[in-house]
Amino acid sequence: MNDVVIGLLSALVGLLAGYGIRTLLGRWQADSIEKQATAKLEDAEKEARSRLKEAEIQARAEVVKAREEFEQSTKVRRKELEDFDERLTQREENLDRKLKVVEVKEQAAAERQTELQTHADNLNRRQQELERLIADGHARLQRLAGMTQEEARRELRQKVEDEVRAETGALLRRLQEEARETAERDAQKLVTLAVQRFAAPHANESMTCTVALPSDDIKGRIIGREGRNVRAIEAATGMTLLIDDTPEAVVISGFDPIRREIARQALEALVADGRIHPTRIEEAVAKAQAGMEETFLQAGQEAAYQAKQQHVDTELLRKLGRLKFRTSFSQNVLQHSIEVSNLMGLMASDLGLDPLVARRVGLFHDIGKSADHEVEGGHAQIGAEILRQAHEDAIVVNAVAAHHEDVEAHSLYAVLCSAADAISSSRPGARSESTGIYVQRLEKLEAIANAFKGVRSSYAIQAGRELRVIIDPTEVSDNDAMLMAREISRKIESELRYPGQIRVVVIREKRCVEYAR
């Protein structure tokens, strides 16, 4: 039992000794950790103080820098304010000087205005006095001359008008003589060269066309039983067929060139096919009518090729092709347009203008005639509107509209077009007129000239291309003769329609005759 107690006591003593040792070891470790923590805390405090000191130094440096910058900007601003104050001071001084000058000028202006007002009052008094003297003079003149003021005014106006008319006639004559010396010679040379360089055949458009037949035997089939085929063709086309003894030919007669062309194409198709009866005739005529648009297009394309024109609108080509079946004074309008185009191209080259533009104007100058029976107005204005809708160049449109002087010309192309149109129309054989119309035109020309005061006689010569007027030299002076020629030409332009141009020659001649016996 004692051994047990001793063992327990030994164990208890060992436990107590171990607990004491462990406690001592814990305290020693805690002291060690506390010392380490204290050392680290001191290091951290040292580092914080060091950084705080650096930050304080840097902040002081920034403050110093900011203060220097502020002082510098303040110094610049102060300098600017001083300069501004100096400029303001100078401006105020200048304004003061100008104000003094303005005051001096205002004072001078006021004095000048006073002087002018005084002068105006004096002028008004003198004007009133002058008017009174003039009135007294008029009254005295009326008493002496036995004329009223209105009569004297009319007589004076007539005298001034006569003097101005004489001076105008002299000036007009001198200017025309000077212009004639150069312009007429150059114009004649230009036109002559153009006409010589371009030669085109001329033939008046007839009212008939001929269809060739392979043999005379086909005439019987064209006539048909009891003439039914002929009647069917004439009813379908509106043309007249002349079947006579002319060998291997049938003549188609009619005034409408388009219907005549339809009849020609239909008859040629019937002859080539060999089957000729009323039903077949109606089919051939209908087919020919349907193909006319293509015929118009082909004719327009051929005309554009001859005029050396490209990029022409298809609808313009069709309208141009319709001119192939249109005549003016028996002249084929399409051939006339091609001729005008070529003449304009030649003259434009000599004048330094664009020949392609000139040719285009000449080709389209009468295109309005393709629609003048459908639209109201002159063919020049209609043609210009057609070209404008087709987006043609403004120069071409204006030249076409102005080639008959209906509107103002904006370029020389319109003048060239008028000249080329007159040349083409005036060529021998280009146009024909009936005898009655020709005689009436000559009589009208002479009647217009005879209506003027001082005309003794007048004569239309050179087929109506020239009008010679003989005047009384005792009634008409040289200057008045020049004005009379101009007035007669203007009256002819306004009252007559004629191809080409008419030359008016006023002749004033005084002959003194005496006989020696």
Token couple for 215 = 């043999």
At residue 6, the pLDDT reads: 80
Q: How far is residue 53 CA from its own chain's centroid?
A: 90
- CA torsion angle 95 97 101 106 (round to 10): 50
How many structural domains comprise the chain? Answer: 5
Write the CA distances from 390 to 63, 313, 315, 374, integer angstroms. 84, 7, 8, 18
Identify the three-state secondary structure at position 252. strand
Same domain (yes/no): 112, 184:
no
- Judge whether 186 lies within some domain: yes
At residue 318, the pLDDT reads: 87
At residue 203, the pLDDT reads: 46
Token couple for 84 = 């501004």
Q: Read off the DSSP letter of residue 324.
A: G
User: Which residue range(s) make up the domain with 151?
Assistant: 147-192
What gap in Å lies between CA 188 and CA 346, rounded to an integer? 14
Same domain (yes/no): 1, 134:
yes
At residue 352, the pLDDT reads: 84
Same domain (yes/no): 110, 235:
no
At residue 146, the pLDDT reads: 61
Same domain (yes/no): 230, 254:
yes
Question: What residues contact residue 48 under an 8 Å CB cut-off, 6+ apart?
Answer: none
Whole-prediction pTM: 0.49
At residue 239, the pLDDT reads: 82
- Judge whether 174 lies within some domain: yes
- Judge whether 310 lies within some domain: no
- Judge whether 36 lies within some domain: yes
- Judge whether 514 lies within some domain: no
Where among 408, 426, 444 does a domain terminate?
426
Where among 98, 115, 138 does a domain terminate?
138
- Judge whether 304 lies within some domain: no
- Judge whether 41 lies within some domain: yes
Same domain (yes/no): 124, 165:
no
Tell me the pLDDT of the chain (517 aa) as tens digits: 677 778 777 777 778 777 778 787 777 877 778 788 888 888 888 888 888 888 888 888 888 888 888 888 888 888 888 888 888 888 888 888 888 888 888 888 888 888 888 888 888 888 888 888 888 777 776 665 666 667 767 777 777 777 777 777 667 666 666 666 665 566 656 555 555 555 555 544 556 777 888 887 778 878 888 888 888 888 888 888 787 777 778 888 877 778 888 888 888 888 888 888 888 888 888 888 888 888 888 888 888 888 888 888 888 888 888 888 777 766 788 888 888 888 888 888 888 888 898 889 888 888 888 875 666 777 888 888 888 888 888 898 898 888 887 788 888 888 888 888 877 776 655 555 555 566 777 888 889 989 998 898 898 886 677 889 999 888 888 888 888 888 998 888 888 877 667 888 899 887 787 778 7
Same domain (yes/no): 13, 132:
yes
Residue pointed to by tokens 């010589």:
196
Task: Give exposure, 330-364, as e/b (b: 16+ Cβ within 10 Å).
Answer: ebbbbbbbbbbbbbbbbbbeeeebebebbbbbbbb
Same domain (yes/no): 95, 156:
no
Same domain (yes/no): 151, 134:
no
What gap in Å lies between CA 124 and CA 452, rounded to an integer? 51
At residue 437, the pLDDT reads: 64
Same domain (yes/no): 354, 446:
no
Q: Are 369 and 379 in contact (CB under 8 A)?
A: yes
Q: How many CB atoms within 10 Å of residue 303?
A: 22
Where among 369, 397, 426 does a domain terminate?
426
Q: Which CATH number belongs to the domain containing residue 344 in this structure?
A: 1.10.3210.10
Q: Read off the DSSP letter of residue 464.
A: T
What gap in Å lies between CA 184 and CA 491, rounded to an integer? 23
Identify the three-state secondary structure at position 177. helix
Q: How many CB atoms within 10 Å of residue 260?
A: 22
- CA torsion angle 265 271 276 278 (round to 10): 10
Q: How many helices (H) and strands (E) does the chain have?
A: 16, 8
Same domain (yes/no): 362, 482:
no
Q: Which CATH number belongs to the domain containing residue 285 in this structure?
A: 3.30.1370.10
Same domain (yes/no): 105, 2:
yes
Give the DSSP H or E segment for 474: none
- Judge whether 201 lies within some domain: no
Same domain (yes/no): 352, 414:
yes
